[in-house]
Amino acid sequence: MLDIKLLRDNPEIVREAMRRRHQEAPLDDILELDRQRRELLTTADSLRAEINTISRQFGKVSPEERDSLRARSKEMGAQLTGIDPLVVAVEEQQRDFLLRIPNIPNPDVPEGADEQGNQLVRSWGEPPHFDFEPQAHYDIGEKLGIMDFEMGAKLAGSRFTLLRGWGARLELALINFMVDLHVREHGYTLIWPPYLLNTATMTGSGQLPKFEEDLFKTREGYYLLPTAESALASMYAGEILNESELPMMFTAYSPCFRSEAGSGGKDMRGYLRQHQFSKVELFGFVKPEDSYVMHEQLTGHAERVLQELGLPYRTMLLCTGDMGFAAAKTYDLEVWLPGQNTYREISSCSNVEDFQARRSNTRYRDAAGKVRYPHMLNGSGLAVGRTLLAILENYQQADGTVRVPEKLQRYLGTDVIKLQAEVVSDE
């Protein structure tokens, strides 16, 4: 959430940021509500001051004058009582507007309307060359009997997949490999978050109110987490940390649930865009002056996963029009998929600065005793399902089998994935 003081004192900075993001924002409405709020508070202060003045006069005036002062004090008290709900209503409306405004892009972020404006930062690895026509992951998975899209649709509906045998084991192997790498080598603390989150938690992370249609909600009012980031961002909501505790770096595995509202027919086939998918998240609470150095480090930790698995990728700096709502700066990692002959996103690593901290009221006390907002970092380290399909496509062989990356072999217990035996029903 943006600082209202920034908008009040420097509205043109915010207007320029929204222009760069190619987004409309109710800035004039917020400023008008801010004017109304301050006017109401000024009136309330004046009434309190006058009531106090009358109280001091009581012992100095005649009984007749006391009756007049008492009536006047009662009238002003009624006016003061009426102002309080007006202030609350204005503040609630102002906060609702502020919660819907995206973060201000870092000056380093290139301006652009969509993904065409993204910039290549670096690339790693060479796309594999095959002496046969490479297949897409959904064909490989179905032929090996490890991905069952029909069964997933039967059990739950479209955009759900059942993994079978080596497919399920490969998913688990990837989760364990990623968690081990981030905990043992990168020094993150492992978190296992709840899968159901309340409204305050989802608001603090930036999911609500803007993205409610993309969420799954229970009849009890809980939301299925769309990413572990939503839980991690609100872990210290309403608390004041000590500077000595920062940085705090966490990794978390969770299934993620997204309705994919508005995605239409995009990526309908295969395992690329699901309502339920697995992800290993990276998250950090850091001091503002350290956040951009640590953003680079976190991005490097996500890249390390792809390097260890031997998957070619490129790192893209997202432009203003393609960044997420909460981000001030984002790198996307895009893995090469030979079955589709293109790069596809497998991780987004963002610095949201103090945007989520303000929403969740997460603070820390610095060495001088000043209470400040920390910066927050997040990134996929990685999206597990997309890593799985990238392995199927990049390590496929002419005979239909799939080689297992060396780093995964001890987790999976094999160096090649072969045809999964069919389970035949008696009916």
| CATH classification number, 115-417, choose in 1.10.287.470, 3.30.930.10, 2.60.40.1930, 3.40.30.10 | 3.30.930.10
Q: CB-based contacts of 147: which residues, under 8 Å, 6+ apart?
A: 137, 138, 141, 161, 162, 163, 164, 167, 271
CATH 1.10.287.40 occupies which residues in the chain?
Answer: 4-99
Residue 376 has φ and ψ, to the nearest 5°, of -120, 140
Q: Which residue is listed with tokens 């929204």?
A: 18
Q: What is the mean pLDDT of the chain?
A: 94
Active site residue 50: no
Give the active site residue among 95, 273, 314, 403: 273
Give the active site residue among 259, 345, 358, 403: 345
CA 68 to chain centre: 60
Number of Cβ within 10 Å of residue 183's Cβ equals 13
Give the active site residue among 254, 278, 348, 350: 348
Active site residue 73: no
The DSSP call for residue 279 is E
What is the predicted pLDDT for the residue at 267? Answer: 65
> If pLDDT is split at 50, 70 and 90, which confidence band does 417 have?
very high
- CA–CA gap between residue 140 and residue 391 (Å, rounded): 11
290-306: per-residue pLDDT in tens? 999 999 999 999 999 99
User: Percentage of residues in the chain with pLDDT exceeding 70?
Assistant: 96
Give the active site residue among 37, 164, 258, 359: 258
For 239-263, b where at least 16 C-beta lie within 10 A, e where not — what string? eebeeeebebbbbbbbebbbbeeee
Active site residue 348: yes
CATH 3.30.930.10 occupies which residues in the chain?
Answer: 115-417
Asked if residue 281 has pLDDT above 90, the reply is yes
**Of 254, 257, 255, 256, the residue nearest 216 (C-alpha):** 257
Q: Please state the pTM of the whole predicted model.
A: 0.92
Query: What is the mean pLDDT of the segment spanning 4-28?
Result: 96
Active site residue 386: yes
Active site residue 273: yes
The CATH architecture annotation of domain 4-99 reads Orthogonal Bundle (1.10)
> If pLDDT is split at 50, 70 and 90, which confidence band does 426 have?
very low
> If pLDDT is split at 50, 70 and 90, which confidence band does 61 have?
confident
121-144: per-residue pLDDT in tens? 999 999 999 999 999 999 999 999
Q: CB-based contacts of 330: which residues, under 8 Å, 6+ apart?
A: 317, 318, 323, 324, 348, 349, 350, 351
